[in-house]
């Protein structure tokens, strides 16, 4: 596809994400210090930071036994998301206490980026997510401005068995991210970093089992993307490079439900449920 240079947004829109440096997760280790998780979650709600964590769920359109199995699986995954959300906010509170993160409104982007890094660490440390793919990816996109979001979705969701019919719902999420990028550029020169967990549920009629496949997409936003999001109405086309990290895993529900879930601190799970609800989007896959 070829476009004239005039009114074409171009550049590297997304960059590979940053990760926590080796051992930094255990700075002010929760095992060796007291964390007030209720205060941490309350602070997260009060700050209402830029949303950088997204849980996007693709449940199958099923009924009867299949629906009940799917609901059990969803409940298990949501318990991990809730536990991880509370744990993450505890780490943020610790970092604020030791001066590693600012507490004021100007620190929203830094706190949001740190959340993405902590979720990356927690997900990678969870052996019940059996990794099937783990790579840095770089894709080049050229599209009319009106088709840009659809083109991103088709490339990001390639081989994830999600039909194009759900793109309209997913574009709302891209709009939310775009709005967040604009607001962050107005308040900070720092680059936002995002962590997006997509979960697709699959029912096998042959084995009468429900399984879940998880794809994680994470990235940092480049200055070119900030400029595009702030002025996209003036562009007719987009030519850009999208660098991101792509991680895919199968959820080992039997291992998790047998050995991990019973040992979880129920208070951490309950504290994080509202955070999960705020960050979740459900898009049902048509039968």
- At 30 the pLDDT is 46
Residue 68, in any domain of the structure: yes
Question: Distances from the Cα of 159 to the Cαs of 26, 61, 167, 287, in angstroms?
Answer: 36, 20, 15, 18
Residue 18, in any domain of the structure: no
The structural domain count of the chain equals 1
Residue 113, in any domain of the structure: yes
Compute the average pLDDT of residues 30-46.
Answer: 84
Residue 264, in any domain of the structure: yes
Tokens of 210: 């429900």
Residue 110, in any domain of the structure: yes
Give the separation between CA 88 and CA 117, rounded to whole angstroms: 9
Strands 53-58, 280-282: pairing is parallel
| 28 pLDDT more than 80 | no
Q: Which residues contact 56 (CB under 8 A, 6 or more apart)?
A: 170, 173, 196, 197, 198, 199, 280, 281, 283
* Residue 232 exposed, middle or buried by CB count within 10 Å (0-12, 13-18, 19+): middle
Contact present, 157 and 200 (Cβ < 8 Å) = no
Q: Give residue-wise pLDDT tens across range 154-185.
A: 999 999 989 988 998 999 999 999 999 998 87
DSSP-derived 3-state class of residue 276 = helix
Residue 131, in any domain of the structure: yes
Mean pLDDT of the chain: 91
| 287 pLDDT more than 80 | no
Q: Give residue-wise pLDDT tens across range 222-277.
A: 989 988 999 988 999 999 999 999 999 999 999 999 999 999 999 999 999 999 99
- At 223 the pLDDT is 85
Which residue's entry shows tokens 């849980």? 55
Its domain, for residue 202, covers: 60-282
Give the separation between CA 107 and CA 130, rounded to whole angstroms: 34
- At 32 the pLDDT is 42
Question: For the stretch 185-217, what's the b/e string if a residue is b when 16 or more beta carbons lie within 10 angstroms of its beta carbon?
Answer: beebebbbbbbbbbbbbebeeeeeebbbbbbbb
Residue 228, in any domain of the structure: yes
Q: Give residue-wise pLDDT tens across range 264-284.
A: 999 999 999 999 999 999 999
Residue 33, in any domain of the structure: no
pTM of the model: 0.93
Distance from CA of residue 107 to its chain's centroid? 20
């Amino acid at each position: 596809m070829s476009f004239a240079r005039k009114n074409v947004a171009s550049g590297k829109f997304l960059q590979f994400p940053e990760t926590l440096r080796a051992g930094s997760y255990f700075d002010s280790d929760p095992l060796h210090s007291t964390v007030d998780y209720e205060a941490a979650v309350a602070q997260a709600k009060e700050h209402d930071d830029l949303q950088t964590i997204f849980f996007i769920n693709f449940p199958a359109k099923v009924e009867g036994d299949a629906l009940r199995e799917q609901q059990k699986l969803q409940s298990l995954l949501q318990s991990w998301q809730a536990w991880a959300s509370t744990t993450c906010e505890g780490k943020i509170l610790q970092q604020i206490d030791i001066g590693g993160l600012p507490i004021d409104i100007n620190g929203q982007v830094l706190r949001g980026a740190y959340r993405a890094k902590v979720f990356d660490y927690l997900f990678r440390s969870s052996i019940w997510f059996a990794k099937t793919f783990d790579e840095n990816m770089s894709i080049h996109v050229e599209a009319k401005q009106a088709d840009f979001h659809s083109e991103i979705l088709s490339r990001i969701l390639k081989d994830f068995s999600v039909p194009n019919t759900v793109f309209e719902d997913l574009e709302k999420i891209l709009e939310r991210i775009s709005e967040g990028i604009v607001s962050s550029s107005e308040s900070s020169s720092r680059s936002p970093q995002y962590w997006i967990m997509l979960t697709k549920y699959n029912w096998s009629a042959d084995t009468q089992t429900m399984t879940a496949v998880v794809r994680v997409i994470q990235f940092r936003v480049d200055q070119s993307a900030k400029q595009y999001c702030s002025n996209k109405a003036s562009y007719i086309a987009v030519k850009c490079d999208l660098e991101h990290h792509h991680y895919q895993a199968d959820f080992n529900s039997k291992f998790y439900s047998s050995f991990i879930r019973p040992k979880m601190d129920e208070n951490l799970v309950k504290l994080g449920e509202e955070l999960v609800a705020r960050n979740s989007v459900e898009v049902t896959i048509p039968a």
